Structure 1
């Protein structure tokens, strides 16, 4: 009985650490452009970060119909901002990269599957 209670206490003490293990997932995803427009800038960062950081395309662009692979670290929730060739931007917040493998830019916004 004492051993069972001790094991239960050990498990409950470790429970707050469990979400940290989930963030060690495979975060590889494809960003696909199905918008009908050229993408000039791609930004994504952890949802905990208030800064978009650098344009992930750099000097490159992502033509309509093209895709690109990314693997950010660590896993967890990410926010996305896409800027098209006409200067218009779309955003999507709270994408769990541990649960998706494709982020798709469309004329209506950003979807994640």
Structure 2
């Protein structure tokens, strides 16, 4: 009699434990990655027309994060919903010159500063 009771009790506890584990796993999968808001400061002499992100060294650029906006020279722009991680950042200036900043660590409340030297170095590197 006790043996049957203990077996039933153990089965019920196991069922509850598996149900709790399944619920916890499904909840964890449903949680989105915490998106970061970053600032891009254009400390260069050129307007930046386009900004793209790609996973580090993958060159899968996706959509232009500026859309119809232009990041004017001397201005700062906040971009929302950028997934934290290591990214390559592609910038296109007003002359359609491209600059790729590789291996940029993106995290919340970060400012990426782009100056004339950065853009000139990128342009020189892309012309080689």
How many corresponding residue pairs? 87
Normalising by structure 1, what TM-score?
A: 0.65
Indicate the SS of the match to 2:84: coil
Q: CA deviation at 1:100?
A: 7.0
Equivalence for 2:83: 74
Distance 1:70 1:26 in 2: 10
Would the aligned equivalents of 2:83 and 2:106 in 1 still touch at CA under 8 Å?
Answer: no
Would the aligned equivalents of 1:25 and 1:98 in 2 still touch at CA under 8 Å?
Answer: no
Instruction: Give the counterpart of 1:47 among 50, 56, 61.
Output: 56
Q: How far does the alpha carbon of each residue in 1:13-53 deviate from its partner, in whole angstroms, 9 at most, with x for none?
A: xxxxxxxxxxx667321001111111111111322643111
Equivalence for 1:106: 115
- What is the alpha-carbon root mean square deviation over aligned residues? 2.3
Runs of at least 4 residues off by over 6 Å: none
Equivalence for 2:105: 96
Unaligned stretches of 5+ residues in structure 2 = 1-32, 120-128
Normalising by structure 2, what TM-score?
A: 0.58
Q: CA deviation at 1:99?
A: 7.8
Between Structure 1 and Structure 2, the one with more helix by share is 2
User: Of the two, which has the highest radius of gyration?
Assistant: 2
